[in-house]
Amino acid sequence: MFYRLSGVYHTRYSATRQLWPIPADRWQIGAVAVLALAAPLYMSDLYLSSYLLPWLIFSAATLALTLLMGLAGQLHFGFGAVMAIGAYTSIHLARAGVPFELALLAAGLMAALIGCLFGAAALRVKGLYLVMATLAMQFLVDWVIVNVNAISGGAVATLQTPQVSYLFVPVASLTARYYLALLWAAIVTLLVLNIKRTSFGRALVAVRDKDFAAAVIGVNIFKYKLLAFFTSSFLGGVTGSILAFCFYQAVTPSQFNFDVTIQLVAMALVGGLGSVIGGFLGAGFVLLAPIVLLNLIARMTDAGWLNVSTTLMAHIPLMLYGAMIIGFLLFEPLGLAKIYDNARKYFLVWPFRHTQS
């Protein structure tokens, strides 16, 4: 088989320590990168703008969340609010004439700052209690945004994003917006992949697995919990403003409400907590599965195979989608990433059935 370890001999430490030591993995990544870069050439505008673009942005958001929930083990049910802070910060700065690059940076910093403030609760509480603390953040931030007119312009107001340019390219055409989102998704992916193999990542995993055991081997829990909130909220804030500028091209409070938070948590869980490929798979599944199912059902009714009322037709995809989430999690409780990993391991030891110690 093409996908195997045998015959792969690394002769230098740098070769064994590279991100993807198996050649087949590198080819896969290369193929995906080429497909993603060439997407505007072969994809229709509809697919590019309403499928691929949000998938990339939500994948970045899921990765930011999985860094906190999966790697550092700190439950966060207010990530929509983190993204909202980023989006509103950047849009106000951009409107005031601040260059977009700086506005993005400020968005991340603002989100990180406020995220850390609520994350400080994690120093005292764990598990479900931390969920409550972060939920409080979600509702507080929502309330402030809706009720302070200087921020949102009112509960139902929509702020249009101003014309900005990124690295001298105007962020206006679909292609430009797509490439900006792709760039950001690539940056976040590489960052999270690399965090996992640095001392920072190992410290986060230690804090997740047993925080007092981490403390007795000299890991400063206080520092690393806050750093986890800082990093994750920073990425979340920037992703929020990328979402606003590249996808919605406007900001309203409802874009970042509690539903979005739940969706993000679902993406991280369905994909597989703490996994990078899982972030992409989870975001893709949660975003695209309902659309694909809806199209499928619609096509079936058009062809006359299925005779249902329109109200039922709207509900069938949702029911199927819920059943699919439960089904996948029953089949593999550790998420889509684990299914991928099992398949990969199967090929790595093929034609044998098992590995041994």
Partner 1 sequence: MSLLSLNNVEVAYDRVFLAIKGVSLDVEEGSMVALLGANGAGKSTTLKTISGLLAPERGAVRRGQVSFLGRDIGHLSPPQRVRMGLVHVLEGRRIFEHLTPNDNLLAAYPGHHARSSFKQLRDQAYAYFPRLAERSRSKAGYLSGGEQQMLAIARALMTEPRLIMLDEPSLGLAPVLVKEIFAIIRAINRTQKTSVLLVEQNATAALDVADHAYLIENGNIVMSGTAEVMKQNPDIQEFYLGGGERVDYHNVKHYRRRKRWLA
Residue 356 sits in the site that holds partner 1 (CB under 8 A): yes
Nearer to partner 1, 320 or 349 (CB): 349
Residue 124 sits in the site that holds partner 1 (CB under 8 A): no
Alpha-carbon distance of 92 to 101, in angstroms, equals: 13
The 101-120 site mask, x for binding partner 1 (CB under 8 A), equals --------------------
C-alpha angle 124-143-141 in degrees, rounded to nearest 5: 45
- The CB-of-5 to partner 1 minimum distance in angstroms stands at 13
Q: Which stretch binds partner 1 (CB under 8 A): 80-88, 108-116, 154-162, 344-352?
A: 344-352
- 152 contacts: CB under 8 Å, gap ≥ 6: 88, 145, 146, 159, 251, 252, 253
The 280-319 site mask, x for binding partner 1 (CB under 8 A), equals ----------------------------------------
CA 53, distance to chain mean position in Å, is 13
Residue 346 sits in the site that holds partner 1 (CB under 8 A): yes
- The CB-of-356 to partner 1 minimum distance in angstroms stands at 5
- E strands in 244-291: 250-251
Alpha-carbon distance of 209 to 219, in angstroms, equals: 13
Residue 357 sits in the site that holds partner 1 (CB under 8 A): yes
Residue 355 sits in the site that holds partner 1 (CB under 8 A): yes
Alpha-carbon distance of 243 to 290, in angstroms, equals: 20
b/e 138-153 (16+ beta carbons within 10 angstroms → b): beebbebbbeeeebbe
- The CB-of-128 to partner 1 minimum distance in angstroms stands at 18
- The CB-of-346 to partner 1 minimum distance in angstroms stands at 7
- Which of 233, 307, 345, 351 touches partner 1 (CB under 8 A)? 345
- The CB-of-342 to partner 1 minimum distance in angstroms stands at 6
**Both ends of the chain: CA-CA distance in Å?**
22
Q: Residue count of the chain, please give it.
A: 357
Q: Which stretch binds partner 1 (CB under 8 A): 135-143, 289-297, 299-307, 345-353?
A: 345-353
Q: Measuring CA to CA, which residue among 90, 124, 82, 137 is closest to residue 251?
A: 90
Count CB-CB contacts under 10 A for residue 113. 14
- The CB-of-195 to partner 1 minimum distance in angstroms stands at 25
Residue 354 sits in the site that holds partner 1 (CB under 8 A): yes
- The CB-of-127 to partner 1 minimum distance in angstroms stands at 17
Residue ranges binding partner 1 (CB under 8 A): 342, 345-346, 349, 353-357
